């Protein structure tokens, strides 16, 4: 948004995300940001419901647009300085299963059992809005996991790491030791595809 930035002298964007990974990734490419978090009355998780027959690609994009819309409303009613808004959603897909964040330890163990010894996809959609302009890009990666023993799954679930992570694992955690191969975007798997994020920002003239 060099155009908008020049008009307003803004040198930051809003990141509408509660994910510490997304903050860390945005920092990594030097994009100054402030958080625009849901108000206590907003149920952010309510956006993340799969529709019957919906593909993973359709799901992750729909949820990301919904997160963006919610964040736009939040910004408009907050009285805060208008600035570009960024948000994202990550989901894991294996066969016909779409794996969002696990509900509990048993759900996490079930997900890791599905991923064991197989290849899965990690989809992250990232969206940017400024004024009436909005755009979304999708990053799709493939990850191949080694075969996991029940003991490995139990230990990992007991560590608490799967909670809050799509597919019940984090590539930036001890689970990295199970990753035989990835094709795609490491940052996308972690939750914010930095190549696509930079493309969106460049599209609005942001100096990156």
Ligand X SMILES: Cc1cn([C@H]2C[C@H](O)[C@@H](COP(=O)(O)OP(=O)(O)OP(=O)(O)O)O2)c(=O)[nH]c1=O
Residues belonging to the active site: 89
Q: Does the footprint of ligand X cover residue 171 (CB under 6 A)? A: yes
Q: Does the footprint of ligand X cover residue 101 (CB under 6 A)? A: yes
CB of 186 to ligand X, least distance (A): 9
Give 6 or 58: the residue with its C-beta nearer to ligand X. 58
From 4, 5, 13, 17, residue interacting with ligand X (rule: CB under 6 A): 17
Q: Does the footprint of ligand X cover residue 165 (CB under 6 A)? A: yes
Q: Does the footprint of ligand X cover residue 141 (CB under 6 A)? A: no
By CB under 6 A, which span of 18-26, 27-35, 49-57, 110-118 interacts with ligand X?
A: 18-26
CB of 112 to ligand X, least distance (A): 12
From 4, 25, 94, 122, residue interacting with ligand X (rule: CB under 6 A): 122
From 5, 130, 166, 194, residue interacting with ligand X (rule: CB under 6 A): 166
Q: Does the footprint of ligand X cover residue 164 (CB under 6 A)? A: yes
Residue 65: strand pairing partners: none
| DSSP codes of every residue in the chain | -HHHHHHH----EEE----HHHHHHHHHTT--EEE-PPPTT--GGGG--PPTT--HHHHHHHHHHHHHHHHHHHHHHHTPPP--EEEEEEEEEETTEEE-S-SSHHHHHHHHHHHTTSEEEEEEEEEEEETTEEEEEEEEEEEEEPP--HHHHHHHHHTTTTTTSGGG--TTSGGGGGEEEEES-HHHHHT--HHHHHHHHHHTT---
Q: Which residues bind ligand X (CB under 6 A)?
A: 17-19, 21-22, 44, 48, 67, 88-90, 92, 101, 122, 164-167, 169-172, 189-191
């Amino acid at each position: 948004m060099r155009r908008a930035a020049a008009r307003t002298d803004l040198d930051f964007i809003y990141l509408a995300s509660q994910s510490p990974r997304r903050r860390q990734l945005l920092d990594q490419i030097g994009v100054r940001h402030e958080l625009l978090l849901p108000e206590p009355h907003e149920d952010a998780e309510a956006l993340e419901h799969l529709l019957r027959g919906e593909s993973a690609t359709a799901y992750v994009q729909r949820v990301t647009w919904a997160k963006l819309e919610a964040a736009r409303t939040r910004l408009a009613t907050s009285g805060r300085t208008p600035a570009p808004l960024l948000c994202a959603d990550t989901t894991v897909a294996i066969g016909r299963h779409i794996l969002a964040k696990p509900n509990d330890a048993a759900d996490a163990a079930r997900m890791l059992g599905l991923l064991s010894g197989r290849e899965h996809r990690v989809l992250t959609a990232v969206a940017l809005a400024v004024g009436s302009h909005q755009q979304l890009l999708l990053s799709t990666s493939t990850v191949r996991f080694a075969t996991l023993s029940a003991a490995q799954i139990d230990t990992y679930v007991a560590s608490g790491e799967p909670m809050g992570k799509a597919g019940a694992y984090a590539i930036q955690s001890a689970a990295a030791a199970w990753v035989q191969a990835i094709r795609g975007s490491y940052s996308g798997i972690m939750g914010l595809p930095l190549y696509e994020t930079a493309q969106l920002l460049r599209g609005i003239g942001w100096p990156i």
